[in-house]
Chain A
Amino acid sequence: MTTAVAVAPAHSRRRTYPLGWWGMVVLIMTEAMIFAGLLGSYFFVRAISPTWPLDHIEPPELARISLFTVVLLGSSVPIFWAESGIRKGNQRRLRIGLLLSFLLGASFMVNLAFEYEELHFGVRDNAYASLYYAITGLHGLHVFVGLLMNLIVQIKAWQGKFSASRHLTVEIFGLYWHFVDVVWIFVFSSLYVSLHIP
C-alpha cells in the first residue's frame, strides 16, 4: 500500500529557468570548449613559429574590423532591450529590438565576406592562414546560425506569439547570441589586436 501526500510547491521570488534554458547553457559550455581549443591551437602554433604571421603574410587590417566589432557587440544591446520589453508584455520593443539586432549582425557578416575577398592569403598557404580562416569561419558560422534563429524568433514575434509570461524562445535565443558576441571578443583580441600591438 502507498500513501498519497500533498507536496508544497517551491515558492520563491527568484526567477525560474526552464529546461530549454539550461540545455542552452550546457550547449554553450561545450561550444566554448571548441573555440578554446581552436584559440589554444592558434597560440600553440604561434609559439613554435619563427615569425608570426608565418612567411610574413600581411595580416588583416585592424581599423575596419574594430568598427565591426563595435557593431557586433552592439547587436546584443537591442536584445537586452527586447527581452526586458517582452517581460512587460511590450510587443513593439520585442519586434524592433530583434530586427535591429538582426541588421547589425547581418552587416557584420557582410564585412566578413568583404574581408575574405580582400585578403592576400588563401586557406592553404600555411598554418597561420588555415587557423585564421578556421577561427573566423567557425565564428561566422555561429553568427549565421544566430541570424537564422533570430529570423524564426522574429517571425513568431511579428505573429504575436509571445507574451509577458510566455517568451522562453526569446531568452534562449538571447543567451546564444550573447555567447557568440563574447566569443568574438576573444577572437578579435587574438587574431587582430595581438598582431598590431608591437
Chain B
Amino acid sequence: MAIVEERPVEEEEVEHELHEVWEDAPGIPGFFATVDHKRIGMRYIYTAFIFFFIAGLQALFIRAQLTVPDAEVVGPEAYNQLFTMHGTTMIFLFNTPVLAGFGNYLLPLQLGTRDMAFPRLNAFSYWVFVLAGIFMYTSYLVGAPPDGGWFAYLPLTDKVNSPGLNLDFWGLGVIFVGISTTVGAINFIVTTFKLRAPGMSINRLPIFVWSILAMAFMVIFAVPAVTLAAALLESDRLFGTAFFDTARGGSSLLYQHLFWFWGHPEVYILFVPAVGMISMMIPVFSRRALSGYVWAAGSLVAIAFISFGVWVHHMFATGLPALAMSFFSAASLVIAIPSGVLFFVWIATMWQGRVRWTTPMLFSFGFLLIFLLGGLTGVMVSIMPFDWQAHDSYFVVAHFHYVLNGAVVFPIFGALYFWLPKMTGRMLSERMGKLSFWMMFVGFNLAFFPMHVLGLFGMPRRVYTYARGLGWETLNVVVTVGSFLFALGTLLTLVAWVQSRTRGAPAGDNPWDADSLEWAVASPTPHYNFRAIPVVNSRHPLWDQEPLPEASSGDEEATRSLGTPGALDRATPITTGLDAAAEETMAIPRETYLPFLLALGLAVFFTGLLVEALVVGVAGVAVATLGLLWWAWRTEADLV
C-alpha cells in the first residue's frame, strides 16, 4: 500500500480535493465549530476521563479518611461533599459521556457511513456536556459543592434543610447534562436506522451498534424521569412550589419514584454499551465469530425492556405495599436471565476459539469474573429480607462498585487499548497495559471485596468515620490499600496512552485482525471515513468479504453519494431502516459556531436560575432561542 509514488497524478488530486472538502478550519475557529463525529467522539472521551480522574481523586480522599478509626483527613461536611460529587461525577460526567464518546466515534464507522445523522446536534450535545460539567464544578469555586448524596433525597435536600446553593448546582446540573444525553440518544437512534452501508441489514449490525441502540432507547424513556425529578426539586427550592412538601400535600416518596424510574435503567444504560464492547473484543481475540449473535442481541434488548420494571427495588426500605414490592423483587430476579445468557455466549465463544491474551482480552476476562460476583450480589439484594439487612451498608457500596466500576470501567479500559490505535494511529504498550490490568484487577478486588464483609458487619455508608473496637479496622486498611493500587493501575494506563502518542508503534489499518468496518479504513481515520461506501453482505465483512467491495456512485438521488464523488460532495447515503437499501442522499454540514453558542445560551440560562437573577435567565433564554431560530432558518438548505 505504501507505493505513493506510483499512484497516478489524478489520484493525488482527488486526495487533495477530499482534504479541502473535509478538513476543519485550522486553530480556534475549527476547534469551536467542528461537527466531525471523530473529533467530537475523542473529545467526549478525553473530557470524560478528566472527570474520571477528578472523581477518582475524591474517592481516594474518602478512603484516606476511612483508613483508620476517628481519622481527621476531612471533616464531616467535606466528606458529604466528597461522596456526593464522587458519585455524581462518575455517573453523570464520566460513565455516561465516555460511552457516548465511543459511540460517537465508532458508530458511523461500524455502520459504514461518513458522519452521524445530525452532525451539528452532535457538536451541541458535546458542548452541553462540558458546560454542564463546568457548571457543577464551579460549586467548588464558590465553596458550595452538592452534599445531599448522588440521589439527593428529600426532605434533606429541600430549601429548609439545605439552604445553600449546593443542591441547586446539583439539580440544575442534572437537568443541564440530561439535555446532552437525550440529544445524543436521538442522534444514535436515527443514525443506526438510516445511515448504514448498503446491505448492512438489521441482522448484520455489529453487536456494539445493537448495544448503543438499546442504550439510546433506554435514555429516551428514562432520562425524562430524572429531569422531571430534578426540575420539580428545583422548582420547590427556587419558586416555593409544593411537589415534594408533605406539609402542603406533596410527597417526598414521589421524588424517589421519579428518580429511580431513571436510576435503575441508568445502571443498564451504562452496562449495556460496556457489554457491547466486550462482545466486540472477545470474538476478535478468540479468533471466531460470537457464538449466539442472535441470543446476545436479543438479551441486550430484553435487558433494556426489563430494566424499566425494577426501580422499586431501590425503595424496599420505604414501606410500600408488600404485593407491589414482591412484584418488583421478582422482576429484578428475572433480569438475571438475559445477563446469564450473555455470560454463556462469551464463555462459549472463548471455549470454541483460540484465545490470544492481549491487554483488551485481559480486561474482558477480568470483566467476566467481576460481573459474575456483581451479578450474584445483585440477586441477593433483590430479595427483600436481605436488602433490609444490607440497606445503606457497605454491602451495597461493594455491590454497585462491582457493577459500575468493575463491569463498566474494565470494559472501558479494555476498549481504550482496543480502539485508541484506530483513533490515534498508534498502539499502546502491551507491557504497560498488562501491568496496568493486573494492578487494577488486584487493587479492585482488594478494595471492594472486603466491603461486602464490612457491610455485613454493620458498617454504614456515607458516614465520615467510625469508632475503634468494632472489628472494622483491618479490613478498612485493606480496602484503602486496594483503592490506591487500583488508582495507580489506572494512572499507568494514562501514561501508556500519553506515551503511545509519540512512541507507539504505527497501528496500520487492522492491527487486531478484527471483523467490523472501522478496521477497513486507515488509522487514524481519514476525515471522510470512507472514500467509497463499502457494500456489506456478511455479519463480519472484513473476515468474509475479501476484498471488501466498494460501491460506485450512480446518477440517481439514492446512489449519487455512494462512491468517491459522494465523498467529494460532503454527502453520505441514507438507507432504508431494516434492509439498508440506498434511498436518498444526505449533505453533511460544514463547521458552525451555532451548537456552541446555543449551549452557551443554556449555560447562561441555568446560571440565571442558580443565582435567581431574572435578567440573566432571560438573557440565556434569548440567546438560546435566537440560536434555535437561526438554526431552524438555516437548516432548510440542507434538508431534502
Chain A: residues with CB nearer than 8 A to chain B? 1-10, 12, 16, 18-20, 22-23, 26-27, 29-31, 33-34, 36-38, 41, 44-45, 48-49, 54-55, 123-131, 133-134, 148-149, 152, 156, 161, 166, 168-169
* Residue of A whose beta carbon sits closest to that of B241: A130
A17 to chain B, nearest CB (A): 9
Q: Which residues of chain B have C-beta atoms less than 8 A from A156's C-beta? A: 636
- Contact A44-B251, Cβ < 8 Å, known A22-B193, A131-B243: yes
- Chain A residue with Cβ nearest B629: A152
Docked-complex contact B249 and A54, CB < 8 angstroms: yes
User: Are the C-beta atoms of A130 and B242 separated by less than 8 Å?
Assistant: yes
Interface centre among A7, A8, A19, A133 (most CB of B within 10 A): A7
Whether, in the assembled complex, B279 has its beta carbon less than 8 Å from a beta carbon of chain A, the answer is: no
Is there an interface contact between A134 and B241, defined as CB atoms closer than 8 Å?
Answer: yes
Q: How far is the CB of A42 from chain B (nearest CB, A)?
A: 10
A4 touches B221 (CB 8 A): no
Nearest A-chain residue to B186, judged by Cβ: A26
User: How far is the CB of B499 from the nearest CB of chain A, in Å?
Assistant: 34
Secondary structure dominating the interface of A: helix
Chain B residues bordering chain A, tally (CB within 8 A): 65
5 pairs, A vs B, C-beta closer than 8 Å: A6-B559, A19-B190, A26-B189, A33-B224, A37-B224
Residues of B within 8 A of A26 (CB): 185-186, 189-190, 220
Partner of B117, one of A3, A19, A29, A54: A19
CB 8 Å contact bits of B620-640 with A (1 = contact, 0 = none):
000001000100110110011
How far apart are B52's CB and chain A's nearest CB, in angstroms? 27
Contact, CB under 8 Å: A41 / B249: no
Bound complex: CA A29 to CA B228 (Å): 15
- Seed contacts A22-B189, A31-B224, A41-B254; 12 additional CB < 8 Å A-B pairs: A7-B562, A9-B554, A36-B224, A37-B261, A126-B248, A126-B249, A129-B242, A130-B243, A131-B243, A133-B241, A134-B243, A161-B636
Within B527-553, the residues touching A (CB, 8 Å) are 532, 535, 547-552
Cross-chain contact A19 with B586 (CB below 8 angstroms): yes
Chain A's closest residue to B258 (CB) is: A37
Verify B552–A10 contact, CB threshold 8 A: no
Q: Does B45 contact A (CB under 8 A)?
A: no
CB pair A168–B639 under 8 Å, yes or no, is yes
Task: For the complex of A and B, list the 8 residue pairs with the smallest distance between their C-beta atoms, beginning with the closest.
Answer: A9-B558, A10-B581, A33-B224, A130-B241, A127-B250, A127-B249, A4-B552, A54-B249
B residues with CB within 8 A of A: 117-118, 121, 182, 185-187, 189-190, 193-194, 198, 220-221, 223-225, 227-228, 232, 235, 239-243, 245, 248-251, 254, 257-258, 261, 532, 535, 547-552, 554, 556, 558-559, 562-563, 574-576, 581-584, 586, 625, 629, 632-633, 635-636, 639-640
- Decide yes or no: A130 and B636 within 8 Å by CB, A4-B550, A9-B554, A19-B117 being known contacts: no
Distance, CA A23 to CA B552, complexed state (A): 29
A residues less than 8 Å from B240 (CB atoms) = 124
A148 to chain B, nearest CB (A): 7
Closest partner residue, chain A, to B118 (CB atom): A23
Q: Which residues of B contact A123 (CB under 8 A)?
A: 239, 241
- Please indicate the chain B residues that have their CB under 8 angstroms from the CB of A44 in the complex: 251, 254, 257
Question: Which residues of A are found within 8 Å of B558, using beta-carbon distances?
Answer: 9-10
A33 touches B552 (CB 8 A): no
Chain A hits for B190, CB < 8 A? 19, 22-23, 26
Bound complex: CA A152 to CA B630 (Å): 10
Question: A5 — which chain B residues lie within 8 A by C-beta?
Answer: 535, 549-552
Contact of A18 among B198, B532, B563, B584 (CB under 8 A): B584
Cα A71 to Cα B510 with chains together (Å): 62
B373, chain A: closest CB distance, angstroms: 34
- Residues of chain B within 8 A (CB-CB) of A148 are 625, 629
